[in-house]
Amino acid sequence: MSPVQKYLLGAGVVVVLSWLFLPNLLFTLVVLGVIAAPIVGYLMLDPSQRARLKRIRRRGIDR
């Protein structure tokens, strides 16, 4: 199982558990946090850090 699949599985578990145990407003906030956190983290990187991250991803795909 790849690391990305592990993150997605963990996020899915968090969403399902919060859906079962939290009120609607908190559930909505948890879902938005799970979706938005990686996007905001990527956007906070410098352009040089984004380029380095892209190179690392491409290198991992070529293996």
Q: Structurally, how many domains does the chain consist of?
A: 1
Q: What is the maximum span of the chain, computed from C-alpha positions, in angstroms? A: 45
Boundaries of domain holding 30: 3-61
Query: HSE of 53 in the Cβ direction (CA atoms, 13 Å)?
Result: 10
Considering the entire predicted model, what is its pTM? Answer: 0.49
Given a contact cutoff of 8 angstroms between Cβ atoms, the answer to whether 40 and 32 are in contact is: no
pLDDT digits (tens, 9 = 90+) for 18-45: 888 888 888 888 778 878 888 888 999 9
Q: How far is residue 50's CA from residue 27's CA, in Å, rounded to a whole number? A: 31
Average pLDDT over residues 7-27: 84
pLDDT at 12 over 90: no
